[in-house]
Structure 1
């Protein structure tokens, strides 16, 4: 079992128990999830790095905690008692290693009436500060800080304050997204006024120009990378359990829409390890997907839920989120440039196979063990063990353990610095050494890539240059089209960032948002290079020195 230096560091810092080796970790996880009947099979699955479950499963399986889910959504209702009850629940989830999402859209706006007193309400952004401060105080699972998603409906009277709240670097423990509805999109298309609604009584607070708000969202995203955008009506159009109500929020990275008190456990198939002899081994892929579904479904049954409400809601739908990582590495090994029509077609075909195999296995489990209890009224007419089966997570830590590229993202840089638990680590892609020549035009290729993070400037043929394009070199529209190609075959949502060069404009970002809407994405996030001083990834050695 071999790991890269950064993968081993991450394991030692976050995942291995005292005295534990990687082999012991995978054995602990397999025993806890599979029991005597399936521990050997599950050990083979995870120790081969063909599939890895989300971080809380790796950290907590077989321990006193036993909390194995990564994704939670909690309600935030419009009373002080309910707000602080959610705050306490958030702390419990963070302590167990989970991340939380919230919709703050039900809170009355700043300056509104409270118990007859005009101007007494502090508003959603003010309460978000309380949640952010509490997150800072509770270290996630004792090994990583908690993470949150804050969502506010575009129709909320405090929407401008929310959109701009991270421009000055505030709310370090929150990702934020604006919840967009069809009414806003119609006003945007017509250039019309958009009514902002007081959630306390449903009255129209005031009206704003929809295009001005759209531009404000894009301008703020240019400054800080946030907010993202959630297309809530699209999420609910494709909701497999619409009879349970409308979904208003997601987990911290946006890939898992959930009801209040619902949780989900995720896992990712390592596509790079499914490439055999320069081709995708479809039989191996299907086998790993089916076993991954079994693993994630078993996690639900052995999980120790942090709250009885979460247990009840999760067992009602039994949602799982199986996804992929290593997509970019797989493309490179197949000789397919990320920015190509062939890559878009491959993405759709690949994810279609994953979705079909996952659904088929969940249907079989439903027939064997029983369908999820809330199936009546859902979109399913036959057996189905899990209300959802697929999700594309960012795999920010898992891909380093697996030694591959993250999620469905293109390579950010072929040599970069990353901060892991406060420790800077220099990372160089093995793909450069394996697939590129040692020299080009008399230049040392590895040294050039180490210095700049890219092959730009090297005298390589056009196909090789295209094959080794980095995220910032890929057209924004293609990023969105790739996300949409996966989304067509995913039950939940897709976590992906449209990486933009430092020169990206507000208009370009607004076009990215609009294209995501047009192509059926459930959400979209952009990041303009160097728009944050605490950027996790930095390109090449020269830039690393500049960034300190």
Structure 2
């Protein structure tokens, strides 16, 4: 301890531990000297109170106590010593003055700092040379001075073209966190973390963070490829091409890439790589690619973003005549985010094992060899990252007679336990949990136990905690629910033909079997009230999230391929509706058009959409011939029928761009018209491919060959179901007669063309809202395998800025209200409507929009339903409406209980916490009185509900583990 005194300054006792160091503005590192704090504070008082402050005991005591307090604060923060930035110290001085009530002195001190900052900026900035004493540790252990100029260049490049970010703040704040000997990666991490913390203040910082992450990617890949040790964004304009050629050579040498890629004109393709497109990534999108998509060797990623897109494009162009031209065409579509292939295609295109397909659907036969053969097929398909949908309806029910042993069957459930454990054991090649969904028809005698497979209570040997389940519901069951009738459960061992029947034929045969139970011809059955079964289905859906509710008859009656077989189930994500049998495993290849990218100046750009869709369908069709098939039944089926599934994503972003609220007639109309355009162009693209390459082998006899398009097949559903049980809009705007004539002359290349997948992962890559979903929250933290990411609704921020409403208070209010705009009085009503989140949009709007899309789609759509204030009545109304509107399938139920606790306006303890959990469902109110039974006359009947029940409490609904459709 020393006592320091000068003629014109008060003396003060200070401690100067050698362990604390200070980074000055020019980058020099010096020992911490508390005397300088005392001098600065004294000068601030003198500047306000005059020279008398120098001898004032009040000022001297204050300066001494404050200096010691500031020093102790740093010692507590870094008990083992460390490095501070000069700005940290000045911040503490300013805070000490404010806390002491010395407002005038504090203000003078702030003005002093600002004046000196302006002077430094005018003189050319703070950082004028490489750091003289702060060193960076390189990978080989050697050190070099920190290159401050390069840091400024990196940050400047990262901020280029973004109006709402502050490059200097990122540099200054990052330097505060650096220390002597910091690693190169440590410097990058400091820059990224600084930018990342600012995302909630302005969404543009997510692009800054992503661009700073690019520095890591470039250093890792370029050094591994032997190009350079590091490179800036601008330098990549010249380095991408040589890096691409080196990458192809390395990948082939490592036996990771298909050797045929070397046969391309690599110079031409390398020149086509556009380094500007690296700047389009959000942080979440790029980190997702880095963690899970980029090809790596010994944990070193040597694939750069544009290289990855070109690798996928080349893999899809292998069979093209002009491979280079097509590869560039495909690359342009992928790298612009106008369209994105599904995850298996991104993973594996251009590699030595090109398993590019997303979904596999199987039917399990009713004999032991067939059952275990199906489980083996599941394992092989899951190994290569396929998502599985299994139809278990043919397997005989509990208590059925076994001819070979003269015993009784244990039913479906014990086998499903084996399926569950197989999915866990064969975890998609060691990358993630295997994913499978079992389907069972509602008339199956084991349906009641099937409903309880995901419960956390009961005999665990008869539970499947890791797999998904879905009800395959016939129309007749829904009619019995509406009409208050009875429902009979059968074993497929005694009623085997029900499995392959649908529509009127199913109803006739089912009623014949019911009659046989009354005459005694059928003894193994059970009769229940249809409404009781329906309520139990909804109760288990709410309690466990399963089984999902999907509808057998619309899937079959509107299938273009009903002449070639039967749709026995959907897939893992409920958007694929393809025929399956003992000989055929259905396969579907997925990709999604980014609808938001096709809204230009507030209007849907039809010509751009046409070009995108035509190229996308070609890419999907190419997958069929390039794809690796793990089992022969899949290869046979895919070659014969050639189905693909083109979907959409970014629907909510497209609504934002058109200034439309999700919960509105305008949104429903946009869903209709946009899907009509996608449908029209997709069908035409497949027909044009048929003219070029020939129609698919089973085309003759299909609905396509009869001139019946998806919009036309609605009539068949109406006829077979009965018009009083369906209400659908059938309006159209395109020249569909012209398209029918084209198909009559050219045929179709693909049996099925459209399906809307969930897109959860690929929409992250593209930085848009997933699939057809409404926004989850306007401000939240998203957690996934790559970490936690602050997500801010950028269109909302822009709208609030335009009205002068975006500030710290608004940010904190959004945090406090879990990203909801509704409780914030400052936000105008029109913006509250536009930015209503998923649970604030009534489920009827989700169903209405989905129904308008469904009329144009030859397969189905992954439709999550969000229900706030959930009750038995609300579930009943929503799912009946889904059936009544002609939907083929539904997916997850996201439910919030009606008795959620309101936030206090006094206790703001969670003000700075951003919600990142999946909402949990809570208990709903008691049952409502059931109205008199009457024939349904339209949607209004359903909206009033038919009965109600007490919904059980539920925990979080699990997220799907597989990325096949994502």
What's the offset of the Cα at 1:378? 0.6
Q: Is the 8 A contact 2:363 2:568 kept in 1?
A: no
Matched, 1:446 2:811: yes
Matched, 1:384 2:672: no
> Which structure 2 residues correspond to residues 296-375 of structure 1 after superposition, within 5 A?
296-375=620-699
What's the offset of the Cα at 1:116? 5.8
Q: Is the 8 A contact 2:800 2:806 kept in 1?
A: no
Q: Number of residue pairs matched?
A: 539
Matched, 1:295 2:619: yes
Deviation string for 1:434-476 (max 9, x for gaps)?
A: 3323864986323333442121222222111100000100111
Q: Is the 8 A contact 2:754 2:857 kept in 1?
A: yes
Matched, 1:280 2:573: no
Secondary structure of the 1:481 match is: helix
Greater mean deviation of Cα atoms: 5-14 or 235-244: 5-14
What's the offset of the Cα at 1:368? 1.4
Q: 1:402 to 1:546 in 2, by over 3 A?
A: closer
What's the offset of the Cα at 1:545? 7.9
Please state which structure has a larger fraction of its residues in strand: 1
What's the offset of the Cα at 1:172? 4.2
Matched, 1:16 2:336: no
CA distance in 1, matches of 2:465, 2:440: 17
Greater mean deviation of Cα atoms: 5-14 or 296-305: 5-14
Greater mean deviation of Cα atoms: 270-279 or 328-337: 270-279
Q: Is the 8 A contact 2:287 2:786 kept in 1?
A: no
Q: 1:263 to 1:545 in 2, by over 3 A?
A: closer
For 2:351, the equivalent position in structure 1 comes to: 63
Q: 1:276 to 1:209 in 2, by over 3 A?
A: same
For 2:216, the equivalent position in structure 1 comes to: none
Deviation string for 1:327-380 (max 9, x for gaps)?
A: 001101210000000110111001000000011111111111100100111112
CA distance in 1, matches of 2:306, 2:410: 51
What's the offset of the Cα at 1:271? 1.0
For 1:110, the equivalent position in structure 2 comes to: 398
What's the offset of the Cα at 1:182? 2.4
TM-score with structure 1 setting the length: 0.94
Q: Is the 8 A contact 2:542 2:895 kept in 1?
A: no
195, 202, 208: which one aligns with 2:488 = 195
Greater mean deviation of Cα atoms: 418-427 or 238-247: 418-427
Secondary structure of the 1:257 match is: coil
User: Which structure is larger by alpha-carbon Rg, 1 or 2?
Assistant: 2
Q: 1:211 to 1:43 in 2, by over 3 A?
A: same
For 1:511, the equivalent position in structure 2 comes to: 877
CA distance in 2, matches of 1:29, 1:43: 8
569, 580, 592: which one aligns with 1:249 = 569
485, 488, 496: which one aligns with 2:855 = 488
Deviation string for 1:147-198 (max 9, x for gaps)?
A: 1121110000111111122132853442221111122123222211111111
CA distance in 2, matches of 1:142, 1:284: 40
Deviation string for 1:280-319 (max 9, x for gaps)?
A: 2111111101111111111111111111211111111111
Q: 1:475 to 1:391 in 2, by over 3 A?
A: same
431, 436, 445: which one aligns with 1:143 = 431
CA distance in 2, matches of 1:294, 1:370: 13
Q: Is the 8 A contact 1:428 1:450 kept in 2?
A: no
Q: 1:439 to 1:223 in 2, by over 3 A?
A: farther
CA distance in 2, matches of 1:121, 1:424: 48
Q: 1:117 to 1:510 in 2, by over 3 A?
A: farther
Q: Is the 8 A contact 1:271 1:324 kept in 2?
A: yes
Q: Is the 8 A contact 2:439 2:569 kept in 1?
A: yes
Deviation string for 1:488-546 (max 9, x for gaps)?
A: 11110011111112x30122111111001110000123523468xxxxxxxx9454489
What's the offset of the Cα at 1:422? 7.3
Matched, 1:94 2:418: no
For 1:53, the equivalent position in structure 2 comes to: 341
Secondary structure of the 2:488 match is: strand
What's the offset of the Cα at 1:429? 2.8
Secondary structure of the 1:521 match is: coil
Secondary structure of the 2:832 match is: helix
Name the structure, 1 or 2, with higher relative contact order (CA <8 Å, separation 6+). Answer: 1
What's the offset of the Cα at 1:276? 1.6
Secondary structure of the 2:648 match is: strand
What's the offset of the Cα at 1:119? 6.3
For 1:412, the equivalent position in structure 2 comes to: 776
Matched, 1:262 2:586: yes
284, 303, 308: which one aligns with 1:25 = 308
For 2:527, the equivalent position in structure 1 comes to: 207
CA distance in 2, matches of 1:473, 1:293: 35
Deviation string for 1:248-276 (max 9, x for gaps)?
A: 11110100012230101010011111122
Matched, 1:39 2:327: yes
Query: Any unmatched runs of 5+ in structure 2?
Result: 1-277, 297-301, 458-462, 496-521, 706-743, 898-911, 920-955, 957-966
For 2:251, the equivalent position in structure 1 comes to: none
Secondary structure of the 1:179 match is: strand
Q: Is the 8 A contact 1:504 1:528 kept in 2?
A: no
228, 234, 237: which one aligns with 2:548 = 228
Q: 1:119 to 1:508 in 2, by over 3 A?
A: farther
CA distance in 2, matches of 1:402, 1:466: 25
Greater mean deviation of Cα atoms: 82-91 or 195-204: 195-204
Matched, 1:76 2:364: yes
What's the offset of the Cα at 1:395? 0.4
Secondary structure of the 1:249 match is: coil
CA distance in 1, matches of 2:612, 2:465: 37
Greater mean deviation of Cα atoms: 451-460 or 397-406: 451-460
Q: 1:191 to 1:429 in 2, by over 3 A?
A: same
Q: Is the 8 A contact 1:416 1:541 kept in 2?
A: no
Q: Is the 8 A contact 2:288 2:786 kept in 1?
A: no
What's the offset of the Cα at 1:118? 6.7
For 1:535, the equivalent position in structure 2 comes to: none
